[in-house]
Structure 1
């Protein structure tokens, strides 16, 4: 009986089963003489590993898109450790392992303008999505504007809030750079309260927590917000050169 070799013409069979990467691997193995000495189990394992890797990649990209991170490509591997920059490789590697998310620990990334706070937060979102955690990324001003779009009883508003309440990582970038309204402060408190022991919140800010009161009109709400973020948080204090200027100079000299 003539042996029938798999070819690319057979790909629709695998695609229909949503096993595209598996099918591509199987066809490559069937037509590569170098694989002739492989055992059947080795061939199947190789194809399954290709399919698993492809599914993980698709899942990560889907999570990154859902997170709304402004820079999905930001990653800890591309962080610059320059002289004078207060970034420790061991600390970043530990944060990239995402145990703090597993333990629902918050993260404060503090430092002056342009030291790379937002990039670090975006890189940690990328690391979280690689490990199958859900994330949501908002500048605080943008979050306030988004909430203002909805009517109080709008079902879409409730769905949006549930996303904020339940995601594994919520990033609040540029936290309290400008004052917020009392209504936004109250809504923020509700979000943080709903997230307690459910997920981690990452805050980037130019100001130390003791200065956040200046941007909040209600002392009671301010104290509650501060406690919910800071009492269970790890601090990353960033200092060093202006990263926007450094990257612009690097690009110009490339």
Structure 2
């Protein structure tokens, strides 16, 4: 009776995995040889592991990363411009704590989205709320927010998320009505967390994406200083994979 009440209480406390592990221990005689501390430790470990995994799945879902890739899956090499030591440092998440931006550039197909997805996934594993948006989706989001009155809510989300990833920067000019908004978001994020920006254009050309040179200077000044830069090189990975499939 007491045992069933304990299991019920654990579930009431939302310690469902702990309750399930306790039931498994009761059903398997081999656990009776363990001490109370050992059995309790197993239950606590199971509950913690379950909660950690559920949190990770929530973060990954909310991040909307376009690729399911782990940081360990990245292919390093000088020919690709992907330095193992740089990625290892980024994998620690210290750049998030220091609010240092990451800029990834490279020609089409060199793996920019793959790299930033791996970074986003790793930050989720470290417990940092992350959000991925292509630049086009970001501009569309801002346009819809202005039209439907959700502007304040959207802005809070873009400023408040710990890691903001913007892909395909420069594929389309920044709409004039959104340039000052982008500046405001990046400026306020200096106290919150970093921005990861991926572009097929080198940062020297980014000024041309803005409708106003002064606005461009203000945004770039807040992004490029102290940022970690990854310049990807080599042939298109899509092309190479296509050739491998044909072979």
What TM-score do the two structures reach when normalised by structure 1? 0.87
RMSD, aligned α-carbons: 2.4
Higher helix share: 2
Q: Is structure 2 residue 79 aligned with structure 1 residue 95?
A: no
Match of residue 54 from structure 1: 50
Give the SS at the match of 2:164.
strand
- Residue range with higher mean Cα deviation, 183-192 or 10-19: 10-19
Report the Cα offset of residue 60 of structure 1.
1.2
Cα distance 1:250–1:217, how it changes in 2: closer, same or farther (>3 A)?
Answer: same
Q: Is structure 2 residue 234 aligned with structure 1 residue 235?
A: no
Unaligned runs of 5+ in 2: none
Q: How does 1:35-54 map to 2 (within 5 A)?
A: 35-54=31-50
Of the three residues 17, 23, 31, the one matched with 2:27 is 31
Give the SS at the match of 2:76.
coil
Query: 2:101·2:228 contact (CA, 8 Å) conserved in 1?
Result: yes
Q: Is structure 2 residue 142 aligned with structure 1 residue 147?
A: yes
Query: 2:71·2:122 contact (CA, 8 Å) conserved in 1?
Result: yes
Of the three residues 206, 209, 229, the one matched with 2:203 is 209
Q: How does 1:1-254 map to 2 (within 5 A)?
A: 14-71=10-67, 73-81=68-76, 84-151=79-146, 154=149, 156-248=150-242
Give the SS at the match of 2:81.
coil
Query: 2:17·2:50 contact (CA, 8 Å) conserved in 1?
Result: yes
Report the Cα offset of residue 247 of structure 1.
4.1
Query: 1:5·1:31 contact (CA, 8 Å) conserved in 2?
Result: no
Query: 2:167·2:199 contact (CA, 8 Å) conserved in 1?
Result: yes
What is the alpha-carbon distance in structure 1 between the residues aligned to residue 78 and residue 243 of structure 2?
16
Unaligned runs of 5+ in 1: none
Report the Cα offset of residue 13 of structure 1.
5.8
What is the alpha-carbon distance in structure 2 between the residues aligned to residue 14 and residue 252 of structure 1?
56
Report the Cα offset of residue 56 of structure 1.
0.9
Task: State the aligned residue count.
Answer: 246
1:15-54 per-position Cα deviation (integer Å, ceiling 9, x unaligned): 4432222122222222233323211111111111111111
1:64-87 per-position Cα deviation (integer Å, ceiling 9, x unaligned): 22222223x321122233683222
What TM-score do the two structures reach when normalised by structure 2? 0.90
Give the SS at the match of 2:25.
helix
Cα distance 1:240–1:35, how it changes in 2: closer, same or farther (>3 A)?
Answer: farther
Query: 2:77·2:83 contact (CA, 8 Å) conserved in 1?
Result: no
